[in-house]
Each structure stands twice: as structure tokens, then as C-alpha cells.
Structure 1
Amino acid sequence: MRLFNGSELSPPTLPACASHGIGLHAASHLTARIAPYPDMSQGDLVELFWNTRFVLAHPIQADEVDRALQLPIPASFVFGGEAHLHYRVLRVGHRAQKSPGLSVAVKLDCPGGSLLQDGENQFLAPVQMPDTVCLNDLKRGVPFSIEPWRHMAALDSLTLRWGDLRLDLPPLHASQPGQPIKGRIPKSMVREAGQDAHLEVTYCILDRVGNPSGWAPARQVCVYRDPTSIDIPKG
């Protein structure tokens, strides 16, 4: 009987997985990739495990020898938290060989909570900002504040929409969850969008594993120009 060491097998990979882990969308069609291994032969049996649970057994077919395997993982196996994935290779005349493991974070909670309807998330608070903005009186842009949301976490990324224009904010750092997000709409962006008596302002969030929040309920802002005032220089 030939003995194998763990270095002869590569750990499994998850091609559909985001760099920071598995999100809700990926969990619904998750596939493990098993790289070809030495002396791969027809009739070998590959057993896949999710944590300590057996997922499936796949016998190697003649046309699969020396080719990567794509093994489906049912969504019923995937829960939030840290997951560990490995596989075993069983073949006649050899001791079972266990692969190195793959550890991956699983996050199935969307920022703000699950959407009640497509496009708008009623669990997100509208952005807070002035109800009126005068284009003649822009000095440092328009201040805004966004209340903390459910499942707020480090590396959440916000996109704020001012009319038809979008502003991407830096991902949250570790000290920001639980705190309001404050900033300013750049005056160049406000001027580019121009006057609008009912300009809509909203935002959406994408977490570190790609879970989207949908758009927050929009706030309407009146953006106007005072013909009796002198514009503040753009510089």
C-alpha cells in the first residue's frame, strides 16, 4: 500500500466566492473546484466535506482524468460563520488521502436587512441633508449623514446617488460600524447636476462578500439658483 502526504493534493477552491468570503448570491449556486492530482485515474472516488458534514462522493470518469472537477455544494449546507472545506481521494490499493482544507467566511445577511421589494430597502433610513441647496452659495459642498444600518460591518461600501450622478465612498474601517456616516457631496458634483426642484438623493451598500442592500428610500432636495446673488467662485 502506498502512503501519500498532504502536499500531493491541492486544497479545494470556490471559484464563485468573493475575495472576502461567500455571500447570499454565491451560496445559492456554490461549486467546489478540485484540481487534478498525481496518478489521477478512472474509478477514483472523491468525497467532499463541508465542515464535518459529508457533501457528496464523485467517481472519476475516463474523460475527467487529469482535469479539474467542479462539484456542486447544495445551499442547505451553507450557514453564516466560518466554514471549512476539504475532500478525500479513495482509490484501490491506496490509503485514503485527505486534502488540505480551505477556510472561508460566510455572510448571508444583507446590509440593512432583506429586501421587501425589488430596488428599494425600507429598512434603510433616508439620507439626512438640507432640504434646499442654493447653487450660488456652495462653499464646501452639501453635508450629509447616513444612520447606522442593520448588519453594518467593516468593509461595507456605500454609493451615494445625487440625481443621476454617483459618489462612491471609501469602505468602512473597523471603528465605523454602529456610527453615522457623515460627509459632503462635492460642490463640483452638485453644480454638474444643476438645478432641480425635486432632485432625488439616495444610497446603497455593498458588503465585503458582495451582498447588496438595494437603494434606500429617496430624499428629495430642491436645488436652485438665486438670480439676485453672485456665484461663489468655483476654485
Structure 2
Amino acid sequence: MELLFRVSFCLLTFLGKTFADVILTTEGSNVWLNCSLPGKDLTHQVFDWKKDAQQEVFLYADGKHYNNKEKTGQDENFKDRVEFFEDKLQSGNASILIKSTKVTDSGNYSCGFPVPPVQSHTLIVGVLAKPSVTTINQNDDWAQLWCKVPGASPKPSVEWKDHSGKRLLDKVVASHENFILETIVNKTGNYTCIATQKELHHKSIESTYIHFAGSKNRAEGRKAIKFFLLLLLVVVDLLP
């Protein structure tokens, strides 16, 4: 599912002729970067989109641009992934669309004209957390559970909870690209791993059911022994 948030409360600057805002999106989505000069016909003008002031994203100059191959110099990372809106140029719209975003697209984008203003955006491309739960070891008394969250960005907060919602004691086993959180449980029930990325307003959960058959059998065995002993006492009392 495509996810895109333009964070209006994160308006960064209004310094002279520079505007900036922050855009959060997820890997694989399409994202709009807005730029406009209202009331200005840009058909025969020049505007240049750059990333981090160095990478050429999209250049338009009087009808010539990267997409029609009449301009060269576009960064390889953006080839065939950037669209503009030729039919909107007359109304001053120099916005672009970046398709199939990658984590490496994260950075600061600027839309520049020969004469200011310069309009800029900070783009953050994230990878949604997708936890998976594995039972590493289990015996009659306890089970060792791992929650793996590979490649998520921004880094999520991860926690284990039992069926009642109580947070469990846990231990980080691996904290690099393949994050692993471990917990030890000793009761039959559902156990859930929760990965939360507040920046992306994203929460993902994965659950597993653990059953301790041995513990139940021992408990039933003890009950059976107690019943047998009680029955034996009754029989002895009835003997002449």
C-alpha cells in the first residue's frame, strides 16, 4: 500500500526567497515534489531540480529536457523515474513526480530558477517494518522466541507482549540490518511482536501461539496420583 505524508507542521524555513518542507514516504511509492511560480508561463523558461545540491534530478530549458533526450547530465539514479507536467507549465507549475522511490532517494531537493525564489523539500524514504516470529527452542518448561525485523527504515521500536497486552522482558540479539529481539516465555498462550515506526505512522504486528503440553500432562498426572491415593485411602477404610 502506498504511503505518503506531507508534514505540514514541519515547515522548516522562510528565509528570503527559500521555502522548504519535509515529505515522508515509503520505498516503492510515487512522490510529488511541488514547485511553482503562480501566474508565470514557464514554457520558454528554465528550471532545474537537484538533490543535495549536486545530483541532477530533472532539468527543463525552453522545451528541452531529460525525458525527450534533448538534455544530458541527469544522474543515473533518476533516469526514467522522473515525470513533469508539460500541460501545466503555462500556469507556472514546475512540479515533478519521482516514481518507485528508493531509500537512496532520501535527501534535500531544490527547484531552482534563473531568478529566485528557490523552493526545496526534504524527502525521507522509509522501508516499512515487517516482523516475523520464530520459536528457536522449546521444552516442557519454557520457549525461546525471536522477532526478526529486517531492513526497516527508519529504525522501528520493537517489543514483545503477551495475550493480555503486558510487555515482556526481552533482549536484543542483533541490532544491525536484521534486527532480532528475543524473549523467553513459560505459559501457554499467544505472544505478539510489535514493530512501530512513529515517523511513518506505521505499526506492524506478528503473533504466535505457544503450547506447553508437557506442563499440562505433569499437572494432570499429579491430579491423577492424588485421586488414586485418595481412592486408596477410602478403600482401606472400608476394609474389615
Q: TM-score, normalised by structure 1?
A: 0.46
Which of the two has higher C-alpha Rg? 2
More RCO (CA 8 Å, sep 6+) = 1
Q: TM-score, normalised by structure 2?
A: 0.46
Q: Which has the higher helix share?
A: 2
Q: Which has the higher strand share?
A: 2
